[in-house]
Amino acid sequence: MSVDDVELAARAYVAGYPLVVSVRTMQRLAGLMGVNGLVWQDRLAGPRSRVIVAPNRDTLYPVAVLDLRSEPMALRLPEVTDRYFS
């Protein structure tokens, strides 16, 4: 294997790894909670939580795996005025 081959393999790994991890995470979440639904955490993350890689310990995370192949989806939420929301 030449130096150029090693360089090309390293670049391919760096470019492709985030996509592989994202797809694996999405498939795991879809298997746990289904597709096209919004799931809200009901308690704060602790030190053993691994759903979010590095969770804030004071944030409740909603998660959705959406299948947008056939059509777009719209998310409508009520106005939130009594707490931080993004």
Task: Please state whether beta strands 62-64 and 38-40 pair in parallel, antiparallel, or not at all (unpaired).
Answer: antiparallel
Residue 57 lies in a domain: yes
Residue 39 lies in a domain: yes
Residue 83 lies in a domain: no
Mean of pLDDT over the chain? 86
Residue 60 lies in a domain: yes
Number of structural domains, the chain?
1
Residue 71 lies in a domain: no
Residue 74 lies in a domain: no
User: pLDDT tens-digit profile of 42-66?
Assistant: 888 777 777 666 667 788 878 889 9
Main-chain phi, psi angles of 18, to 5 degrees = -60, -35
Query: Going residue by residue through the chain (86 aa), what tens digit of pLDDT does each one get?
Result: 888 999 999 999 999 999 999 899 889 889 988 999 888 888 887 777 776 666 677 888 788 899 999 999 998 888 989 988 87
Owning domain of residue 60: 3-64
pLDDT attached to residue 83 = 83
Residue 75 lies in a domain: no
Residue 18 lies in a domain: yes
Q: What is the pTM of this model?
A: 0.59
